[in-house]
Amino acid sequence: MKLLITGDIHGRDDVLQKVLKKEKTFDMHLNTGDIGLDFQTIENSKMIAVKGNTDYYLDLPTERLIEHNGLRILLTHGHLQNVKYGLTELIMMAKEMDANICIFGHTHDPFYRRIDNIIFINPGALTGIKDKTYAIYEDQKVSIINVD
């Protein structure tokens, strides 16, 4: 199973299209919010997304629990769990939802760590000032990839 994980696009469809051109095959495209794109672009990108703190006009849930291939994947932006100040609230939420994988954004900093047997992944941002990054989860491995 291959997951393409993007986040914090903030309207940069050009960068998203670069990623999609590079990553032609995947089972799911998960996005952590702060998309800044219209629904047609989201749909064309085969994106399963959540609402970020800047997605004022997108009617999306703030979190999703996705069950796929025996995994429970929690997808959220992270602003409601205050991830810029630590992962305590997010860890508690992932445990309560019995998630195997927790995917979040908001900080724009790529991150991967196993905490209490839950894999936490932040793909970074496609609008990163220093680096434009996304993540791939495949065969229980996580890769953080620079777009450029």
Residue range 100-144, pLDDT digits in tens: 999 999 999 999 999 999 999 999 999 977 799 999 999 899 999
Question: CA nearest 103: which of 64, 132, 69?
Answer: 64
Task: Find how far residue 145's CA is from the centre of its chain.
Answer: 13
What is the predicted pLDDT for the residue at 148? 83
pLDDT at 92 over 90: yes
Name all domains of the chain by residue range, CATH numbers in brackets: 2-146 (3.60.21.10)
What is the predicted pLDDT for the residue at 128? 76
Secondary structure in 3-state letters for the chain: CEEEEECCCCCCHHHHHHHHHHCCCCCEEEECCCCCCCHHHHHHCCEEECCCCCCCCCCCCCEEEEEECCEEEEEECCHHHCHHHCCHHHHHHHHHCCCCEEECCCCCCCEEEEECCEEEEECCCCCCCCCCEEEEEECCEEEEEECC
pLDDT at 79 over 80: yes
Query: How far, in Å, CA of 138 to CA of 148, rounded?
Result: 21
pTM tops 0.85, yes or no: yes
pLDDT at 42 over 80: yes
| Higher per-residue confidence, 8 vs 128 | 8
What is the predicted pLDDT for the residue at 23? 96
